[in-house]
Chain A
Amino acid sequence: GQNIDQPTEMTATEGAIVQINCTYQTSGFNGLFWYQQHAGEAPTFLSYNVLDGLEEKGRFSSFLSRSKGYSYLLLKELQMKDSASYLCAAKDSNYQLIWGAGTKLIIKP
């Protein structure tokens, strides 16, 4: 079956760095997405990886290893507004997104 695994909850300190891991098992693979979702709001797009390696976008970076079925989202210089759920999603061979349950990130002062 198809599956996405990511930690349920993580806690980090303002100004620090946090890495949110995601492992995936899909029928075929057409890219890995990360979305941010604040409580009570809609998900918003953060990043997309289809090739191995690191994609950097400001304070956020996303890494992909296709051979390991593994990705991570790296958040630097954490701010209180980064408190949110981070959703990992992989596209399968039919270009359908398989979603993880999300990682709730709690930022403490």
Chain B
Amino acid sequence: NAGVTQTPKFRILKIGQSMTLQCAQDMNHNYMYWYRQDPGMGLKLIYYSVGAGITDKGEVPNGYNVSRSTTEDFPLRLELAAPSQTSVYFCASSYSSDTGELFFGEGSRLTVL
């Protein structure tokens, strides 16, 4: 009963390095999302996807890229990491866009030094 699986759980990056946060879901959900959560602020949408091959920018896409080659996987790429990208990242999926509840991964805590 995996649900949404994110890796890694923790990572420290140096400024300018790049990395990919992995996200996979086994619920056959079409909709997938990447959020970041900063202290004292609401979740901010980075990118989302409504199905394989389709991605779109959210509220805070700068510095990130995504791809959706399969229904299951939705990796988030950080290029040229900056201290402002220090955050907790959550991947989520849902069955539908209207009433569908979001199922979240456990989160990835990223620190950029």
Q: Which residues of A contact B (CB under 8 A)?
A: 4, 8, 30-31, 33, 35, 41-45, 48, 50, 87, 89, 91, 95-102
Contacts and interface: CB of A to CB of B under 8 A. Distances in A.
Bin chain B's interface residue count: 10 to 19
Given A30-B98, A91-B98, A95-B98, A101 B104 contact: no
Contacts of B105: 42
B102 A45 contact: yes
Nearest to A45: B101
A31 B99 CA distance: 7
Nearest to A8: B40
B97 A95 contact: yes
Given A42-B105, A44-B104, A87 B42 contact: yes
Interface string B71-113: 0000000000000000000100000011101111111000000
Contact of A41 (B43, B44, B103, B106): B106
Contacts of A97: 43, 45, 102
Interface of B: 40-45, 58, 90, 97-99, 101-107
Mostly helix, strand, loop or mixed at chain B's interface? Answer: loop
Contacts, number: 46
Given A87-B42, A99-B42, A100-B42, A48 B102 contact: no
A30 B99 CA distance: 8
A102 B58 CA distance: 20
Nearest to B45: A96
Contacts of B90: 42-43
A101 B106 contact: no
Nearest to A2: B59
B43 A99 contact: yes
